[in-house]
Amino acid sequence: MPQNIRNIAIIAHVDHGKTTLVDAMLKQSGVFRENQVITERVMDSNDLEKERGITILSKNLSIHHGGLKINIVDTPGHADFGGEVERVLKMVDSVLLLVDAFDGPMPQTRFVLKKSLDLGIKPIVVINKIDRPGARPEKVVDMVFDLFCELNATEEQLDFPIVYASAKQGFAKRELDQESADLEPLFQMIAERVAPPEANPDAPLQMLVTSIAYNDYIGRIATGKIFNGRIKAGESVALVQRDGKVIRGRISKLLGYEGLKQVELADAIAGDIVTVAGFDDVGIGETFAAADKPEALPYVAIDEPTLSMNFIVNSSPFAGREGKWVTSRNIRDRLMKELRTNVSLRVEDTSNTDTFKVSGRGELHLSILIENMRREGFELAVSKPEVIFREIEGERCEPFEYLVIDVPEEHQGTVIEKLGPRKAEMVAMHSMDGVNRLEFVIPARGLIGFRTEFMTDTRGTGVMNHTFHGYAPYKGPIPGRKNGVLIAMEAGETVAYSLFGLQDRGILFVPPGIEVYEGMIIGQHAKENDLVVNASRGKKLTNVRASGSDDAIRLTPPRILTLEQALEYIDEDELVEVTPKSIRLRKKHLDANERKKHEKKSK
């Protein structure tokens, strides 16, 4: 019955240990055999999640403990995937808010906590990583309480229970001076403080769909929480779509969770989280209802995207060489498919049939989509990210981010100086053992291209995190990239002899032996203007040798840009060409004369 079910989500800032805690809960609840080989961060199933060590998609699982069935949802920690968190909160009755015992509340902690408090959820605070050097759990509890007050929590929400834990070591305790060897105190706290779902098994069926996936064997599957009634495999139900249209059909498969595995169920009752197959047109936010009484459930609104970029059919001289899917129809179909599962994404057609405007929550959100597409064999070009402006009460407004920077004291002045022209306003500053925490409110435009500069200025020792803060009046122009670029003059293969002559002019992005084409960007110029160069010129061979001019050529290693760095780096008249094998930078107009014409027009 619903009384034995507990639905919880684990929310936190990135890297505070959500997925590691889920691992420990799975191990201690007897889901795995004693001799079973278990991978670390077992919930991060996607290749990109494993490589980057971050959660991108929310995942469901369930464990049985002391007569209770606990449904757990592991959520992403990056602000760019906030849409995943927002829709998941609709199907849980409480959240475990994880906070690092050293870092304290971070930007995404604020974001996910605000969403859960607004829904009336009463969180359980878990102070994680108490075994970390420099941990300060008591101070962090005070910081969490201040954050609850700042976000206008009710008195009931302010009376939050606290558990101290080390997910990595697999123990939890209610008081810091207690001894504990396992997570039993956390399980007890869930049993005591998480209310069973408010659901009526005898009412007509209502189930809200909060995530969509695709299974090779049974097709499109929808996961969600049953708010009322019962659901049976094989029965006929109605699907109420978001536009009010009702589709009737039969549930071909009903799946529940046992640990990490999906298992077939004959039926399920209100309060449980299940997966349903049999409807090809089901979307997020739609409701499965009783066939004779189809009534929709209200759906939580998802925040709008703040950043957009153009996805363009690749038109470079190398188009079609490395990719399998290259036409506008292929790209359009793939983007429409992504729309069905990625709730924070928007795709619009433009006046050019080869260009699609794609909007998302941030650079990481869009770059993960591009990375997935290139791994699937797609080839495309993408433009510089641009923020989405809005008209609010007759005033032009732009998105702002809440930026938190942890930086050693010696680099603090440089960082503050660099953020000034980017229109950042400092709102707080704290000192923590030689590291200063600086908090800013900054236009989202000001963050584009800042990360690479920041890592260089702090010698890789700084840490920056940011989350969406809100819309505010336009702050005026922000200076862009200071340096020009080195542009290849003609098609050919790069030669070490040519590159050796060019490396004094700036920083190279390509090694010798790489094919280039006219208009391709091969490096950063040391000055402000663009420079057209010949990277394919070989040395003329003669019979004469000179001791000075025939020294061995020594090249500085090139700076190879990742996809995110390339998107941050490019200017408005440039594109990133993305293929399954390569990431290249290029000018929009490859011909030098064309570029001059367009420069004159724009002036």
Q: Is-contact 10 18, C-beta < 8 A?
A: yes
User: Is 571 buried (19+), middle (13-18) or exposed (0-12) by CB count in 10 A?
Assistant: middle
pTM of the model: 0.77
Q: Is 130 annotated as a binding residue?
A: yes
With a CB cutoff of 8 Å and minimum separation 6, the contacts of 396 are 389, 390, 473, 474
pLDDT at 575: 93
Q: Decide: helix, strand or coil at residue 378.
A: strand
| CATH architecture of the domain with residue range 485-560 | Beta Barrel (2.40)
State which residues of the chain have pLDDT below 50: 33-45
Tokens of 306: 């703040």
Q: Is 18 annotated as a binding residue?
A: yes
Q: Residue 507's closest CA among 458, 561, 556?
A: 556
Neighbours of 489 (CB within 10 A): 19
pLDDT at 46: 52
Q: Is 128 annotated as a binding residue?
A: yes
Q: Is 357 annotated as a binding residue?
A: no
For the stretch 25-67, pLDDT in tens is: 888 776 554 444 444 444 444 555 555 555 555 667 888 887 8
Report the alpha-carbon distance of residue 554 to residue 144 in Å, rounded.
54
Q: Residue 388's closest CA among 477, 471, 480, 467?
A: 471
Q: Is 75 annotated as a binding residue?
A: no
With a CB cutoff of 8 Å and minimum separation 6, the contacts of 591 are 518, 519
With a CB cutoff of 8 Å and minimum separation 6, the contacts of 455 are 462
* End-to-end Cα distance, the chain: 71
- 231: enclosing H helix or E strand: strand 230-232
| CATH architecture of the domain with residue range 2-193 | 3-Layer(aba) Sandwich (3.40)
Average pLDDT across the chain, whole number: 84
Q: Is 65 annotated as a binding residue?
A: no
Options 3.40.640.10, 1.10.645.10, 3.30.70.240, 3.40.50.2300; CATH for 390-473 is: 3.30.70.240
pLDDT at 548: 56
Q: Is 461 annotated as a binding residue?
A: no
Domain boundaries, given as residue ranges, for the chain: 2-193, 206-290, 390-473, 485-560
The superfamily in CATH containing domain 206-290 is Translation factors (2.40.30.10)
pLDDT at 314: 92
Tokens of 337: 């498919």
Q: Is 15 annotated as a binding residue?
A: yes
